[in-house]
Amino acid sequence: MNKLIILAAFIFGMSNIAEAQLRTNPNATTKVVTEDDKQKLASYKSLLKALDTKEAWIRSNPEELKLATKNGWFVNAEKTRKDVLAKIALIENKTK
């Protein structure tokens, strides 16, 4: 009889623990990151790396630096960076 009471108390306790774990944050929503999002994220990060590489090359060449500055390349690159960083943040926030 004593073992039966202990077993019942154990089962009751475990079921309460399991239920509590399921209800840790009932208002939280889970966002799924799709394979398409992962590909976009990789593409955006690749674009940022390409911009950095091109900028380094331009800055190392005085003639290209003068031409790029004259044509507004740095302004356009900065706009592109901001847009891409915003898109990356949007995708990364889906996982949080």
pLDDT in 10s for each residue of the chain, 96 residues? 666 677 666 666 666 665 665 666 555 555 666 888 889 999 999 999 999 999 999 999 999 999 999 999 999 999 999 999 999 998 888 765
Cα–Cα–Cα angle for 72, 61, 74, rounded to 5 degrees: 20
pLDDT of residue 59: 94
Range of the domain at 79: 2-94
pLDDT of residue 93: 84
Domain count across the chain: 1
To 10 degrees, the CA torsion angle through 61, 63, 67, 72? 30
